[in-house]
Structure 1
Amino acid sequence: MPSPQHLSILDYTYQLPEEQIAKYPLSKRDESKLLVYKDGSITDSAYKHLHEHLPADSLLVFNNTKVVEARLLFTKSTGGAIELFCLEPGDQYADITTAMLQKGKVLWKCLVGGAKKWKSEPLAKQIDYGIKKLDLQASMVERLSDYFLIELSWDDASLSFAEVLHLAGQIPLPPYLNRLAEETDKTTYQTIYARHDGSVAAPTAGLHFTDSLFEQLAAKGIEHKFVTLHVGAGTFKPVKAATLQEHEMHAEFIDVTIGFIEDLLANLHKTIVPVGTTSLRTIESLYWLGVKELSRKSLVISHKSVASDQSLVVSGQLENKEEMALYQWDAYELPQDVAAADALQALIDWLKEKKLDRLITKTQLLVAPSYKLRIAKAIVTNFHQPQSTLLLLVAAIVGNDWRKFYDYALANNYRFLSYGDGCLLFAPES
Structure 2
Amino acid sequence: MQVKDFHFELPEELIASYPLDKRSASRLLCLDGNSGAVEHRQFSDILEYLDPGDVVVFNNTRVIPARLFGTKASGGKVEVLVERVLDSHRVLAHVRSSRSPKEGAVLLLEGEIQATMLGRHENLFELEFAGEASVFSLLEAHGHMPLPPYMKREDQLSDRERYQTVYGTQPGAVAAPTAGLHFDEELLAALDEKGVHKAFVTLHVGAGTFQPVKVDKIEDHVMHSEYIEVDQSVCDAVKAARARGNKVVAVGTTSVRSLESASKSGEIAPYQGDSDIFIFPGYEFKSVDLLITNFHLPESTLMMLVSAFAGYEHTMAAYRDAVAEKYRFFSYGDAMCIRRKTDQGEAA
TM-score, length basis structure 2: 0.92
Query: Aligned-residue CA RMSD in angstroms?
Result: 1.8
Q: How does 1:179-218 map to 2 (within 5 A)?
A: 179-218=153-192
* Matched position secondary structure for 1:88: strand
Letter paired with 2:92: K
Q: Which residue of 2 aligns with 1:151?
A: 128
Q: Which residue of 2 aligns with 1:64?
A: 60
In the TM superposition, residue 175 of structure 1 has moved relative to its aligned partner by 0.9
Higher helix share: 1
Q: Which residue of 2 aligns with 1:45?
A: 41
Q: Which residue of 2 aligns with 1:311?
A: none
Q: Which residue of 2 aligns with 1:371?
A: 283
Q: 1:126 to 1:68 in 2, by over 3 A?
A: closer
Counterpart contact for 1:80–1:117, Cα < 8 Å: no
Q: Which residue of 1 aligns with 2:323?
A: 410
Q: 1:235 aligns with which of 209, 212, 219?
A: 209
Could you list the per-position Cα deviations for residues 127-151 of structure 1 after superposition, in whole angstroms to 9, with x for gaps in the alignment? 6xxxxxxx42111122343122222
Could you list the per-position Cα deviations for residues 42-82 of structure 1 after superposition, in whole angstroms to 9, with x for gaps in the alignment? 11111112101223332110000000011111134576321
In the TM superposition, residue 257 of structure 1 has moved relative to its aligned partner by 2.0
Counterpart contact for 2:279–2:305, Cα < 8 Å: yes
* Matched position secondary structure for 1:66: strand
Is structure 2 residue 274 aligned with structure 1 residue 280? no
Q: 2:107 aligns with which of 107, 123, 137?
A: 123
* Matched position secondary structure for 2:262: helix
Query: CA–CA distance in 1 between the matches of 2:165 and 2:228?
Result: 18
Q: How does 1:16-415 map to 2 (within 5 A)?
A: 16-38=10-32, 39-76=35-72, 80-90=76-86, 99=87, 102=88, 105-106=89-90, 108-116=91-99, 118=101, 121-125=105-109, 135-153=112-130, 155=131, 157=132, 159-268=133-242, 269-288=245-264, 291=265, 338=266, 343-344=267-268, 347=269, 359-399=271-311, 400-415=313-328
Where do 4+ consecutive residues of structure 1 move more than 6 Å? none
Query: CA–CA distance in 1 between the matches of 2:85 and 2:218?
Result: 27
TM-score, length basis structure 1: 0.75
Query: CA–CA distance in 1 between the matches of 2:100 and 2:51?
Result: 57
Counterpart contact for 1:82–1:118, Cα < 8 Å: no
Q: 1:421 aligns with which of 334, 340, 348?
A: 334
Unmatched tracts of structure 1, length 5 or more: 1-6, 91-98, 128-134, 292-337, 349-358
Q: 1:429 to 1:20 in 2, by over 3 A?
A: same
Letter paired with 2:93: C
Q: 1:149 to 1:222 in 2, by over 3 A?
A: same
Letter paired with 1:33: R
Query: CA–CA distance in 2 between the matches of 1:34 and 1:55?
Result: 18
Counterpart contact for 2:68–2:110, Cα < 8 Å: no
Identity among equivalent pairs (%): 37
In the TM superposition, residue 273 of structure 1 has moved relative to its aligned partner by 0.7
Could you list the per-position Cα deviations for residues 190-212 of structure 1 after superposition, in whole angstroms to 9, with x for gaps in the alignment? 00001000000000000010111
Letter paired with 2:106: P
Query: CA–CA distance in 1 between the matches of 2:236 and 2:189?
Result: 25
Q: 1:405 to 1:126 in 2, by over 3 A?
A: closer
In the TM superposition, residue 121 of structure 1 has moved relative to its aligned partner by 3.8
Query: CA–CA distance in 1 between the matches of 2:7 and 2:191?
Result: 34
Could you list the per-position Cα deviations for residues 219-261 of structure 1 after superposition, in whole angstroms to 9, with x for gaps in the alignment? 2221111111110111111112001233210111011222222
Unmatched tracts of structure 2, length 5 or more: 344-348
| Aligned positions, number | 337
Query: CA–CA distance in 1 between the matches of 2:340 and 2:60?
Result: 24
Query: CA–CA distance in 1 between the matches of 2:240 and 2:39?
Result: 31
